[in-house]
Structure 1
Amino acid sequence: MKTAAVAPALNLGRPVTGLLLSLSDAIAAVLLALDLIVVIGSVLARSWFDAPVEWSDDVARGLMVGSSFFGAASAVARSENPGVEFFAAMLPASLRRRFDAAAAVLVVVIAAYVSFNAFKLGWITTGQTTGSGLPLEWTFLPMAGGALFMTVFAAEIALRRPSRELLEAVAVLALVWGTFMVWSIFAPDTLPQVGLLMALGFVVALLGGLPIGFSIALAALVYIWLDEYLPGVIFAQQMARGIDNFVLLAIPFFILVGYLMEANGMSVRLIELLQRLVGRMRGGLNVVMVLSMVLFSGISGSKMADVAAVGSVLIPAARRSKQEPGQAVALLAASAVMAETIPPCINLIILGFVANLSIGGLFMAGLIPSALMAVALVGVSILFGTKAAIAADIIPDGSLRRMWVGAIVSFGLIAMIFIGFKSGFATATEISAFAALYAIVVGAAVFGELSWRALARSFVHAATRSGLVLFIVAAAQALAWVLTLQQVPHALGDLMVEMSRSSGTWLFMLLSIAILIIMGSVLEGAAALIIFGPLLVPVASQLGIDPLHFGVVLVISMGIGLFAPPLGLGLYGACLIGHVPIERTVRPIMGYLGLIFVCLLLITFIPALSTGLPRLLGY
């Protein structure tokens, strides 16, 4: 799931490049570790000593912003930014190289613009303080530093391209910009509407291979660049605002939990136990895959981390048992869609944040819908599956007692998450911090496999992966702010309310599903929810639709789009993990997604499936 626009990754053999990337990794990981210490220390001080730490939230948010941008910089260096390659791959080779060169230049320009304005914003806010009295520039200067590293990495990658292609790309982009400047000076009344230019820039950039986060940022920047009254620092401020929230800190912590489980052996033991228990039954390996995704999604909030953990073990097992790998990858992707509403899913956290919904309520609302989809996938796996021809190829050796110990430790982590939410002892972020601490201390003590090197690597990977997600969240927040300025939410709300009044709420629900499936396929899931969640949830409430029920419908719809061919980025990621060409997964994934879609319709038109449990628990 890498964009050709910035591939291949940096030449890490160069001393300066390697040193800067190591420094970026270290800064991102250290900031994440400090964040973990601050949050855990704050909860313990409040609970044990009745001494709330007033500055902890401000410090935690500032550390997260810095860690996110340095992590995103490391992701740029390694060419890990997700993007749509389907259309660019269809272009002739010479034209594709020119698009790639132009995209590489745009990455440099956007990163540099963010860095410059974040530094400027830090200078402007010098002397100002947060609510707890901390310097306000502490939030913006680490962001600026991370964006500066990002700029250096992107520039080094761009400069490795043939100079002729690079000069052509710069010339074309300068020509486009110059044309609009001349047009705006001599015939401003004939310029297309800025909304149309934003949409055109976004579509061309996205389909041309520009990474999703940068495509979203470009759409917002088109508006800011063409509006003579908006300063550039507004863009940096809105990006920081998009992730400067204590709730979103749960994202890097839950991602960290997933990497720690892999490092300390909890993941493998849990999957091995499932293989021993149900691997010999009809369709057993497929059942194991679905159940593994159910359990892992209740521990790690990152879908791609779950897919990687389960796929790295079970796809090779599918090959050994002579099962079609494309079929196995397709089921893995469909299971990830099913797991979108199993807490602590990152997308539920993001939707709760942007739409002002109870995250605990969303977590409870998603349980029965995910159970329905899991039962459907397990049923199909058993009904159409065959008994493994060579059970020894998929049934792992080893002590069953050892596997049960690993499973019990993992279930302890799941229990901590659910009990924490139900008891109200801590927020989602605080629970995620203690889940990470549990994975470090208990996992290492029980299994003894978590070395210092593996621990450091887990923090680096978590910081990079969360940086990828949160950079997209930041860019999407900037775009959502621009859309609000253009009164798009108001216009869309009025349109959909009017349509629903004449045709009923069922039309609104179906239109919302269609929008999220389409947008989920061309955008990373978080971006689709950030842009459309705040637009659609208020309209749903106005129409009398329960917001928790509607939120679950949106997240499942987005998940279908995320893993739907030919554009779904999640499907590309699953194919990369399973080492299977996407062409071999298209037919089986369409069948599985069709089954998930039927379940989605049941969930949509039987609200009790998602509202029953939250009401029972008092949400």
Structure 2
Amino acid sequence: MEAAAGQRRGTGVSAVLADLQLPAAGASLPARAEEWLGHFIEAPAAALVVGEVAVLLAGVIARFAFNSPIPWADELASILFLWLACLGAAVALRRGTHMRTTALVSRFSPRVQAWAEVLAIALPCLWLVLLIVPMADYARDEWVVQTPALNWPNTVRAAAVPVGSALMAAIALLRLARRSIADVAGVALAIAAMAGVMYVGSDWLQSIGNWNLFIFFALLLGVSVLAGVPIAFCFGMATVAFLLTTTSTPLSVVSGRIDEGMSSLILLAVPLFILLGHLVEMTGMAKAMVDFLASLLGHVRGGLNFVLLGAMLLVSGISGAKTADMAAVAPVLLPEMKKRGNHEGELISLLAASGAMAETIPPSLVLITIGSVAGLSISALFTGGILPGVVLAVLLAVLARFRSAEVVQGLKRAPMSVVARTFLVAFPALLLPVVIRSAVVEGVATATEVSTIGIAYAVLAGLFVYRRFDWRRVYPMLVDTAALSGAILFIIGTATGMSWALTQSGFSHSLAQLMTSVPGGKYGFLMISIAAFVVLGSVLEGIPAMVLFAPLLFPVARAVGVHEVHYAMVVILAMGIGLFAPPFGLGYYAACTIGRVHPDQAMRRIWPYLGALLAGLLIVAFVPWFSTGLLAR
């Protein structure tokens, strides 16, 4: 789930450190410096997105069309990708797309909220300052390692981590300079006091063994998340505090784990599918699909509810990002649904539920992420994710039919000529998910590369079929892609470091022993996993939760006899329910923001939809065929 920039305060989701407004004339020196620095970072980040697409697409064309693979394509793509991730994380810090939750903080007084905002700047700044030198040392040590194809020193790639971190530290310091001196001093004293307590109590923390994990990775992490600190930095700070207080491990190890977490070739698909989602919306492909579905079903009671669910299934299979899905579908459908008498809270409830429903529809970014961290086949996950999404869609459709308040008197079935016309218009858009899946199945491209084929297809369709391609939006789209990608990948990097620390402590072994001893065998294990990931999805969001716990829990799933693809579907759907469940689920507030409806309007109406999702999840959990039945085909 992605935290959208510009979301209004008080909704439970907030931008990281500020909104997207540029400083007005006469702004302070720190504000002007931050604006200049932002432009300095955004241009190369946008260029890296273009370079990534070009390199991967060239590799696909050379291999498939000319049977002459480019030996250095993947290597160059990997180098560009790490730079894109690190510069994108810096852009995200400035633009407000790092994931955080303010559901609790927003309930307090403005004074407490002001302190929380300073803490959300100061804690990341402290973490970055602590790691700048170790990160630079790590990058320098990589000089002796040569890349296999290009024969470049690996420092060329590894330097992205300290450079990106230095830029983020500069942005955070400029933000602090714009805050009240009293607030900054108060937060600094509080952080110093906490650090002092940990330093004085380090001997005791070491003496209690793995119980200290609760203090760092439950108490400290939980408090910082609920205080509104960006989740990626919460992971990083908890890890650094644990290592400094209870071990002698050098912090350069953290830099190595961040590099490792952000460098997986599978994750190359993340920015490319995000860009594809932007293109699908800009070129009118999403609207064409919605118009076709509306011509088929718009005349029946609850018909537009069915259209919404069908559109989310189709668009999810293209963009791979839930916020992009909802933003593409909601503006087209919600106004007409309101005109037909539906309560706006009911519409937002259905929109949020459909976002959770589509979490497993390929090419979901969560599928790609879980495949990367758990070592699973992306193709198998893409295949296994289809039927679970359909199961949930059917249950939601039945519920939406009975809860619909649409007034359809006077509405006539669209003539077949209209249906045929809208189908012809939508056909190129409807073909895109087929092209993406076929390219992977037929071996034209890998799951990582296939997004470039989708991007090329969307560009051509926008230019020559739909004749909608706004060149003025291209640069902002590229910057948005870099920012959102950086936010996602930086979380994966810091969560990888945290997962490594937990593994080194022996926690993973203890967790495996505990989970395998649960009564009920594999189904008892699945029920506990469902409960855990509903909570984790609500508090940590999907991708961080997956990165942190997938490496720990998938070996346990194998040990108790649960198929890996089946387990992936269960935990992804459980996480999706938590992600879209109030009062903490960020996806719920994102749906409210996109639909421009106050969260209170939907708070009481969403529970039946969440109940339908839970029923569907239990069906998927207890009938593994829905997840694995298509794998052998």
Q: Given the two structures, how large is their TM-score scaled by the length of structure 2?
A: 0.91
Work out the CA distance in 2 between the residues paired with 1:169 and 1:192: 29
Work out the CA distance in 1 between the residues paired with 2:557 and 2:209: 36
Task: Trace 1:385-464 onto structure 2 (pairs within 5 A).
Answer: 385-388=404-407, 403-464=422-483
Kept in 1, the 8 Å contact 2:399–2:612? The answer is no
Question: What's the secondary structure of 2:319's corresponding residue?
Answer: coil
Change beyond 3 A, Cα 1:225–1:599: same
Work out the CA distance in 1 between the residues paired with 2:139 and 2:69: 28
Change beyond 3 A, Cα 1:190–1:480: closer
2:202 corresponds in structure 1 to: 184
2:264 corresponds in structure 1 to: 245
Question: What's the secondary structure of 1:66's corresponding residue?
Answer: helix
Change beyond 3 A, Cα 1:309–1:182: same
**CA deviation map 1:436-473 (0-9, x unaligned):** 11111232221222133222222222111111211111
Partner amino acid, structure 2, of 1:302: A
Kept in 1, the 8 Å contact 2:295–2:422? The answer is no
Change beyond 3 A, Cα 1:188–1:427: closer
1:593 corresponds in structure 2 to: 610
Q: Does residue 514 of the first structure (1) align with residue 503 of the second (2)?
A: no
1:167 corresponds in structure 2 to: 185
1:533 corresponds in structure 2 to: 550
Change beyond 3 A, Cα 1:185–1:548: closer
**CA deviation map 1:247-267 (0-9, x unaligned):** 111111111110011111212
Task: Trace 1:255-334 onto structure 2 (pairs within 5 A).
Answer: 255-334=274-353
Partner amino acid, structure 1, of 2:152: L
Kept in 2, the 8 Å contact 1:297–1:303? The answer is yes
Change beyond 3 A, Cα 1:9–1:427: same
Q: Does residue 98 of the first structure (1) align with residue 98 of the second (2)?
A: no
1:149 to 149, 167, 186: 167
- What's the CA shift for 1:227? 4.2
Change beyond 3 A, Cα 1:604–1:183: closer
1:135 to 153, 166, 177: 153
Q: Does residue 6 of the first structure (1) align with residue 17 of the second (2)?
A: yes
Question: What's the secondary structure of 1:76's corresponding residue?
Answer: helix
Change beyond 3 A, Cα 1:62–1:394: farther
Deviating more after overlay: 351-360 vs 90-99: 90-99
Kept in 1, the 8 Å contact 2:82–2:262? The answer is yes
Work out the CA distance in 2 between the residues paired with 1:208 and 1:93: 14
Kept in 2, the 8 Å contact 1:115–1:148? The answer is yes
Change beyond 3 A, Cα 1:86–1:29: same
Deviating more after overlay: 153-162 vs 542-551: 153-162
Work out the CA distance in 2 between the residues paired with 1:193 and 1:498: 20
- What's the CA shift for 1:193? 4.7
**CA deviation map 1:280-313 (0-9, x unaligned):** 2101221111111010011111111101111222
Work out the CA distance in 2 between the residues paired with 1:454 and 1:327: 33
Change beyond 3 A, Cα 1:144–1:292: same
Change beyond 3 A, Cα 1:155–1:406: farther
Work out the CA distance in 2 between the residues paired with 1:6 and 1:165: 15
Q: Does residue 59 of the first structure (1) align with residue 82 of the second (2)?
A: no
Deviating more after overlay: 48-57 vs 471-480: 48-57
Work out the CA distance in 1 between the residues paired with 2:412 and 2:87: 43
1:73 corresponds in structure 2 to: 90
% identity of equivalent residues: 32
Partner amino acid, structure 1, of 2:550: G
Change beyond 3 A, Cα 1:4–1:88: farther
Question: What's the secondary structure of 2:159's corresponding residue?
Answer: helix
Kept in 2, the 8 Å contact 1:40–1:430? The answer is yes
**CA deviation map 1:578-606 (0-9, x unaligned):** 11222222222211010011111111111
- What's the CA shift for 1:169? 0.7
2:383 corresponds in structure 1 to: 364
Work out the CA distance in 2 between the residues paired with 1:605 and 1:567: 28
- What's the CA shift for 1:53? 2.2
Kept in 2, the 8 Å contact 1:284–1:388? The answer is no
Change beyond 3 A, Cα 1:185–1:419: closer
Partner amino acid, structure 2, of 1:155: L
**CA deviation map 1:490-542 (0-9, x unaligned):** 11111111224xx3222111001111111111012011111121222111111
Kept in 2, the 8 Å contact 1:283–1:388? The answer is no
What number of residue pairs does the alignment pair up? Answer: 612
Gap regions ≥5 residues in structure 1 = none
Work out the CA distance in 2 between the residues paired with 1:409 and 1:187: 61
Partner amino acid, structure 2, of 1:137: T
2:37 corresponds in structure 1 to: 20
1:41 corresponds in structure 2 to: 58
Kept in 2, the 8 Å contact 1:320–1:394? The answer is no
Change beyond 3 A, Cα 1:193–1:267: same
**CA deviation map 1:180-210 (0-9, x unaligned):** 2233379975799531331221011011111
Q: Given the two structures, how large is their TM-score scaled by the length of structure 1?
A: 0.93
Partner amino acid, structure 2, of 1:255: I
**CA deviation map 1:422-441 (0-9, x unaligned):** 21222101111111111112
Root mean square deviation of aligned Cα? 2.4
Question: What's the secondary structure of 2:584's corresponding residue?
Answer: coil
2:221 corresponds in structure 1 to: 202
Change beyond 3 A, Cα 1:159–1:71: same
- What's the CA shift for 1:15? 4.1
Deviating more after overlay: 296-305 vs 400-409: 400-409
1:608 corresponds in structure 2 to: 625
- What's the CA shift for 1:610? 1.4
Kept in 2, the 8 Å contact 1:87–1:207? The answer is yes
Partner amino acid, structure 1, of 2:630: L
Q: Does residue 568 of the first structure (1) align with residue 599 of the second (2)?
A: no
Change beyond 3 A, Cα 1:338–1:134: same
Partner amino acid, structure 2, of 1:409: P
Q: Does residue 346 of the first structure (1) align with residue 357 of the second (2)?
A: no
- What's the CA shift for 1:394? 14
Work out the CA distance in 1 between the residues paired with 2:476 and 2:15: 26
Kept in 1, the 8 Å contact 2:306–2:397? The answer is yes
Kept in 2, the 8 Å contact 1:317–1:394? The answer is no
Work out the CA distance in 1 between the residues paired with 2:547 and 2:616: 24
Kept in 1, the 8 Å contact 2:299–2:412? The answer is no
Gap regions ≥5 residues in structure 2 = 4-12, 25-30
Work out the CA distance in 2 between the residues paired with 1:218 and 1:394: 59
Change beyond 3 A, Cα 1:77–1:521: same
2:7 corresponds in structure 1 to: none
Kept in 2, the 8 Å contact 1:73–1:149? The answer is yes
**CA deviation map 1:315-366 (0-9, x unaligned):** 3333333321111111011001110111101111111111111111111111
Deviating more after overlay: 182-191 vs 412-421: 182-191
Question: What's the secondary structure of 1:53's corresponding residue?
Answer: coil
- What's the CA shift for 1:382? 2.1
Change beyond 3 A, Cα 1:191–1:539: closer
Partner amino acid, structure 2, of 1:220: T
- What's the CA shift for 1:416? 1.0
Work out the CA distance in 1 between the residues paired with 2:523 and 2:517: 13
Kept in 1, the 8 Å contact 2:312–2:354? The answer is yes
Change beyond 3 A, Cα 1:296–1:115: farther
Work out the CA distance in 1 between the residues paired with 2:386 and 2:64: 29
Change beyond 3 A, Cα 1:386–1:66: same
